[in-house]
Structure formats: C-alpha cells, structure tokens
Amino acid sequence: MPSSDFSKELQVALEASAKAARLCERVQASMSGQSIEKKDKSPVTIADFGSQAIIAKALRDAFPDVPLIAEEDSSALRTGDNSQHLLRVRDEVRVALDDSTLSGETICDWIDHGNASEYAEMFWTLDPIDGTKGFLRSEQYAIALALVVEGQPVCAVLACPNLANADGSKGALFSALGGRAQVHDKRGASDIRVSATSNFATSRFCESVESGHSDHDQSKAIASLLGIAGPSVRMDSQAKYAVLARGDAEIYLRLPTRPGYVERIWDHAAGCAILSAAGGEITDVDGKPLDFRHGAGLERNRGVVASNGSGHDKLIEAIATTSA
C-alpha cells in the first residue's frame, strides 16, 4: 500500500463532494425527471454535469498534474439541441460556487478535465452521480470520488445524500484514508467498522436494483445455498458499499449478467476504498482483487463480491457452484 500522506487530497475531495452533493439535492428537489440521453441511452441529468464540473474544477486547481478519469464529458451539452440544459447546468454551478460570471464554455471545460482514459501511477476517478436512475426515482445515488495510486484506491469520498441514518436523519458523507474509514456530519467525523456477523443465516444481503447490473436469479440461488434467510435489499449506487462499511449489511454481490461485460472503475473505486478501510473484503467473482491498472475498465476482473470479510471464501465457492 502506498504510504504517502494524502490528507490534503482528502480535504479537497471532501469539500468538493459536499458542494456537489448540495447541487444534486437542489436539482433533485426542483426537477421532475429532466434528463438527456447519451448514445448508450443511459439517463444523464443536469446534476451529473454540475457535480462533475464542481469536483473536476477543484481537483484541477489543487492537483493540476494528476489526471481524472470520470464518467461524463460535455459533448452532449455542446450540441444545439441541448443548449437549454447547458444553461441550467451553468446556473446551478453558479449558485454552488457563488460566482455569477461563470460561462457555459468554462463549465464544459471543467467537465472535460475528466476525459483522461489511460492508467497512470496516480490518478483520480469520479462518478458524479453513481445510480442516476436512482436519482431520477428520488432513491439512492452517490457521488463517488477516489484517488488511485499504484493501482490501489488510497483516498476516497462517497456522498450519499438520500441514505437514511440511525438517528432518523438523511444523508451521509463517507471517507477513507490510511486504512481509516469515517462518516462525516455536523458533529464532525467518526470511525466506522463493518459488522462482526459471521452467521450467514442472519447476514443481510445488498444488490443492485437494476437486473441488468447483477444476476438476481443467481443471487437467490447463492442465498439459498448459504442459508441466508432474509430478503435482498436492493438499492442503486455505491451506497451499498457505505451500508456494508457502517455495519448495516454484510454482503454485496454484483454478478455478471452477460459474457465479456467490463465493470467501470468509477463504479467501484471509492466504495472499495471505504469498505476495505472499514475492515471489509472486496474481490471479483473469481476471488481475485480488483485491478485498477487498466484505464477506465476493470479489464482483468469479472463482477464484484463485497463482504464484511466473514465467510468471503464461502461466498466465492457458492458463486462457483451456482455458476456451473
């Protein structure tokens, strides 16, 4: 594990992610399903672009030599048909950064700071809204940012604005640095740890809402094989990693739904860092560590298996058995 102190990186990431989260909350409260369609037909909201603009600007200003591999680019905003969306993004970013002089062109340039695609010894990766469909349903989504050094996520922030807390409040900001996972609120930061549960019969199970993201039928077979009695909790985004990291669930499976599918690094890097720092374990379905050294894709991995660490090997065995 790289041993450098990345406390400045964490502070910048926390501040930028918090600003982006406030923008997303504001947009979600004011919009009714407004989105544009990317070429792959996945929905992109005004909040995706605004969130990426804010975070990319902060990273570029503070760490200009560190590339950013992010999910979005500004090409959809630069077309004539979407000029009204660019104006909305501009207005939201102006409010978020308290700068009424910002132009749409400047904001597009910030967004495109995230256009790096090749592996580097040190780089950031960002999903400005992980779980966009959850965002559009007013359910779970996350702003996911991680610093990857020598192929390992070493510093990360997950902002989960809709995640319920034990005290009845809503919204949480999670971080990882130096093997320490924390949750941040108005009272400050407190450490979090995974559940100590080792009995599969009482384990709680998370998986994606979208059946295209994980094989739900195989998940049922695995649960039956291991004696997991409770129903799966389905939620969008890397909020699932946060739920495991703070001890509210024990297992998260993202099982391949088709041959050759490659997971994207921005969908897992931040969550992996936080869950690992909280004492959890993350591998692919073959039991191999996730390999972040191949650009934007987890090219050497199949699926993702995350747990509190208890019985992880048995999870991998169950996956192999139910895949046969």
- Cα gap 316→321, rounded to integer Å: 9
Element (H, E) at 147: strand 142-149
- In the residue annotation, 283 being an active-site residue is answered as no
Q: Tell me the residue type at 59.
A: L
CA-only gyration radius of the chain, Å: 19
Instruction: List, as one string, the DSSP characters of 59-94.
Output: HHHH-TTS-EEES--GGGTTSGGGHHHHHHHHHHHH
Residues 6+ apart with CB under 8 A from 80: none
Sign of CA dihedral 268, 271, 274, 276: negative
Q: Which candidate, 251, 321, 319, 322, places its Cα nearest to that of 286?
A: 319
Q: Which candidate, 160, 156, 181, 183, places its Cα nearest to that of 170?
A: 160
Candidates 45, 48, 112, 125; catalytic one: 48
Candidates 112, 125, 127, 132; catalytic one: 132
Distances (CA, A) of 177 to 142, 196, 276: 18, 22, 10
**Inter-residue contact 159 to 55 (CB < 8 Å):** no
Per-residue exposure over 5-34, b if at least 16 CB sit within 10 Å of its own CB, e if not: ebeebbebbbebbbbbbbbbbebbeeeeee
- In the residue annotation, 215 being an active-site residue is answered as no
Element (H, E) at 51: helix 46-62
Instruction: List, as one string, the DSSP characters of 184-235.
Output: EETTEEEE--------GGG--EEE-SSTTTS-HHHHHHHHHHHT--SPPEE-
Catalytic residue ranges = 48, 132
